[in-house]
C-alpha cells in the first residue's frame, strides 16, 4: 500500500470523500489516505493527525516525498485537537476500535461545527459509534462491510441530520443499512460472532452462578436472539 494504491479498506473510505472537501485524517499513520486523496484530486487539502512520534514522522516523510506539503499539513496531537473549528469539511477516523472513535468524537465535539461528513472505520465495536451518532445530530447515510486479509471491516458514513426513526438495539448492533443489504460478508461476520457467543454462553452456563455472570448471560442471550432473528430472514 502507498499513496498511489490504497488497501481495499482505505479505498472504500476514500470513495466517500466528496470532491473538493477539506479533510482531516485522525490517526493517519503513514498519511497514505490524505496523500492519495489530494493526489487524485478528490480532497482539496488535508490535515493528517498523529499522536505518536513514530507515525507522525512517517506521515511527514510521506507527504514530503509526495511533494504535497503545501496541501497536506501533518500535525502531532491527540484526536481532534489537531484541527480548529471550521477548518475542515470531513473528518476521517479509520483503523481504531469503535469505543475509542466514539471517545475521540465526544472529546472533540467543539471541533465539529462546520464539519458536514464523518467517515468512520472501526475495527471492532461499530455499535458504540452508532449509539453516539443520533444524540449528537448525526445520521448514517451509508454503511459498507468488507473483508481484507481475512479480517472484516465496517465503514460508517455519517452526515448532519436526524435519521427517519431512532435506531433500535438490533440496528445499533448490526447496522440499519447493512441489515438492508445483507451481503455475504455481513452473513459471514455475524455467523462467526454467533458461534463465538454461543460458546461463551455455554461456558457461563457451567460457571458458578454470580450476579455478574447472570448479567453477562442475559446480554449475550439478547445479542444471540437478535442475530439469529436477522440471519433467519
pLDDT value at 1 more than 70: no
Q: What is the domain count for the chain?
A: 2
Whether 180 is covered by a domain: the verdict is no
Average pLDDT in the 105-130 region?
97
- Taking CB atoms within 8 Å and a gap of at least 24, the contacts of 11-16 are 12/121, 12/144, 12/146, 12/153, 12/155, 13/92, 13/94, 13/119, 13/121, 13/155, 14/40, 14/42, 16/117, 16/119, 16/142, 16/155, 16/157
Tell me whether residue 220 is exposed, middle or buried, using C-beta atoms within 10 angstroms of its C-beta: 0 to 12, 13 to 18, 19 or more.
Answer: middle
pTM of the model: 0.94
Neighbouring C-beta atoms of residue 147, cutoff 10 Å: 14
Q: What is the pLDDT of residue 65?
A: 94
Structural domain boundaries enclosing 227:
185-231
Note whether residue 175 is domain-resident: no
Of 165, 196, 220, the position where a domain reaches its end is 165
The domain boundary, picked from 165, 194, 223, lies at 165
Please, are residues 151 and 122 in contact by the beta-carbon 8 Å criterion? no
Task: Clarify whether residues 126 and 199 are in a common domain.
Answer: no
Give φ, ψ of 15 to 5 degrees.
-65, -20
Q: Tell me, yes or no, whether 221 and 113 share the same domain.
A: no
Residue 32 to residue 62: CA distance in whole angstroms: 8
Quote the pLDDT of residue 181.
Answer: 95
Q: Judge whether 176 lies within some domain.
A: no
Q: Is the pLDDT of residue 2 over 70?
A: no
Look at residue 163 in the predicted model and tell me its pLDDT: 84
> Do 154 and 222 sit in the same domain of this protein?
no
Is 23 inside any structural domain? Answer: yes
Residue 171 belongs to some domain of the structure? no
Together in a domain, 27 and 78: yes
Let me know if residue 177 belongs to a domain: no
Query: How sure is the predictor about 70, in pLDDT bands with cuts at 50, 70 and 90?
Result: very high
Report whether pLDDT(5) > 90: no
Q: What percent of the chain lies above the pLDDT cut of 70?
A: 98
Task: Kindly state whether residues 189 and 141 are assigned to the same domain.
Answer: no
What pLDDT is recorded for position 4? 63
DSSP state of 97: -
Nearest-angstrom CA–CA distance, 34 and 3: 8
Are 154 and 207 in a shared domain? Answer: no
75 pLDDT band, cuts 50/70/90, is: very high
146 & 76 share domain = yes
The x, y and z cell numbers of residue 211, run together, are 450476579
Residues 116 and 59 in one domain: yes
**Domain final position from 165, 193, 218:** 165
| Nearest alpha carbon to residue 161 among 115, 121, 98 | 115
Same-domain status, 158 and 191: no
Same domain for 144 and 196?
A: no
Residues 28, 134: Cα–Cα separation, whole Å:
26
User: What is the pLDDT at residue 3?
Assistant: 57
Q: pLDDT (tens digit, 9 = 90+) per residue, 200-228?
A: 998 888 877 777 788 888 999 999 999 99
Closest CA to 120 of 144, 150, 137, 136: 144
User: Does one domain contain both 55 and 148?
Assistant: yes
Angle at Cα 41 formed by Cα 93 and Cα 51, nearest 5°? 30
Amino acid at each position: 500500500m502507498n499513496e498511489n494504491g490504497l488497501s481495499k479498506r482505505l479505498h472504500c473510505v476514500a470513495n466517500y470523500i466528496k470532491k473538493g472537501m477539506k479533510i482531516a485524517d485522525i490517526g493517519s499513520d503513514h498519511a497514505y489516505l490524505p496523500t492519495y486523496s489530494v493526489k487524485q484530486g478528490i480532497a482539496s487539502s488535508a490535515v493528517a493527525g498523529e499522536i505518536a512520534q513514530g507515525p507522525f514522522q512517517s506521515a511527514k516523510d510521506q507527504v514530503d516525498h509526495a511533494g504535497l506539503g503545501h496541501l497536506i499539513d501533518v500535525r502531532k496531537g491527540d484526536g481532534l485537537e489537531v484541527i480548529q473549528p471550521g477548518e475542515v469539511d470531513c473528518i476521517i477516523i479509520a483503523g481504531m476500535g469503535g469505543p475509542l472513535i466514539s471517545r475521540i468524537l465526544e472529546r472533540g465535539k467543539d471541533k465539529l461545527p462546520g464539519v458536514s461528513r464523518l467517515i468512520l472505520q472501526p475495527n471492532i465495536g461499530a455499535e458504540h459509534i452508532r449509539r453516539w451518532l443520533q444524540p449528537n445530530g448525526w445520521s448514517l447515510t451509508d454503511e459498507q462491510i468488507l473483508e481484507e486479509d481475512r479480517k472484516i471491516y465496517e465503514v460508517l458514513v455519517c452526515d448532519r441530520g436526524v435519521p427517519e426513526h431512532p435506531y433500535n438495539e438490533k440496528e445499533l448492533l448490526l447496522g440499519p443499512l447493512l441489515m438492508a443489504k445483507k451481503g455475504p460478508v455481513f452473513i459471514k461476520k455475524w455467523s462467526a460472532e454467533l458461534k463465538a457467543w454461543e460458546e461463551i454462553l455455554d461456558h457461563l452456563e457451567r460457571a458458578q452462578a454470580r450476579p455478574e455472570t447472570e448479567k453477562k448471560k442475559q446480554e449475550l442471550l439478547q445479542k444471540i436472539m437478535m442475530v439469529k432473528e436477522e440471519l433467519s430472514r
